[in-house]
Amino acid sequence: MAHTDQTMRRVLRREIAGTIGLLTDEHDFRAMRRYRSFTFHEHAAYLRQVEALLRARAAEGTHTTIALFDPEEYAEYCTTAGLDPDAPASRTRFTAELATNGPTVPYEGQPLTDLLPALVDEAVRQATWEYASTLLARLGACSTCGEDLGRAAFTRASRLLLQVLRTAPPGNRHLVCSVSGSPEDLVSVLHADEEIDGTPHLDEAEALEFTSVLALGLATHSPGGLVMRISPASGPDRIHGWRLRGYGLEPLTAGEVFDAYCTDVENGDLISPESNVDYCAPPDLGDDHLPPGHHH
């Protein structure tokens, strides 16, 4: 009977999804060492133990999600919740919150050296989206017609992004949107790999962040731009670009795209162009056929 109970408990453990709050860098690791209940002494050794645990859970068929553990946010959480920060149970509760609301990535057997940058990128993406969304919400309603300015800009940005992808030549697309002075510079990246039927495959979280940043640039008429690099199955890569202008996108000429890519932004010196890359004027977006958006 005891053997059967143990077997069933092992089966049940495989049914429990888990989340590990990971300290990705040495600075955060040192911050956690002020708690006596946190018994690790070296960050490298800590990471080795985490990776061994992940592999063991994967070998048992158990799904694990990795969350970014921020010591400052943890301390604030404990203060707000009235918890003792120097207690493993408090760290467990905080990690459970991260699994619901924080940046996470699934463990799929990849080395920790590959997983850490992906987790940091996800944290930056979520922070950028939250920041852009907050600024869009603060725009409020138009004093003339009452339309929600942030929502109108997001709708406009979504349609523009769709047109950029629809009119792009075949190939995998890598897009970068940058917006200056809103009040901080924002950069968002979107990957759109081409499916077998030619349609672009988008990561939903990436697309949401990218559209929010583009919408913020449109709504605030901030300086900015959008660049798309297309990697076809054969032939050279193609690079296209637009500048944010008014409430839309203004195409860059091939020469302007070349200058943007082949000039050092720090000192203005020329940079050798990449081999097997064409710097091109972008396709016509047909923007005249799009709804004009909000102009009050």
Residues 46-77 have pLDDT tens digits of 999 999 999 988 888 888 999 999 999 999 99
Whether the Cβ atoms of residue 246 and residue 292 lie closer than 8 Å to each other = no
Predicted pLDDT at 227: 94
The percent of residues in the chain predicted with pLDDT above 90, rounded, is 54
pLDDT band at residue 198 using 50, 70 and 90 as cut-offs: low
Q: Which is more confident, 4 or 251?
A: 251
**Residues 177 and 224: beta-carbon distance below 8 Å:** yes
Across the chain, mean pLDDT equals 86
* Nearest by Cα to 242 from 295, 292, 191, 167: 167
Contacts of 30 (CB under 8 A, 6+ apart): 43
Residue type, 213: V
pTM of the model: 0.78
Q: Which amino acid is at 122?
A: E
Share of residues in the chain with pLDDT > 70 (%):
88
Q: Alpha-carbon distance 144 to 154, whole Å?
A: 19
Q: What is the mean pLDDT of residues 85-113?
A: 91
Band of pLDDT at residue 6, cut at 50, 70 and 90 = low
DSSP secondary structure of 98-159: HHHHS-EEE--S--HHHHHHHHHHHHHHHHHHHHHHHHHHHT-B-TTT--BHHHHHHHHHHH
Which of the two residues, 266 and 90, has the higher pLDDT score? 90
On the question of pLDDT at 202 being above 90, the answer is: no
Residue (of 213, 294, 212, 211) closest to 246 by Cα position: 294
Judge contact between 244 and 191, C-beta under 8 A.
Answer: no
Question: What's the pLDDT score for residue 71?
Answer: 95
pLDDT at position 289 is 45
What's the CA gap between 176 and 209, in Å, rounded?
Answer: 11
Which stretches of the chain are DSSP H helices? 2-14, 26-32, 43-59, 71-81, 88-101, 112-138, 149-167, 204-220, 254-261
Over residues 237-266, the mean pLDDT reads: 87
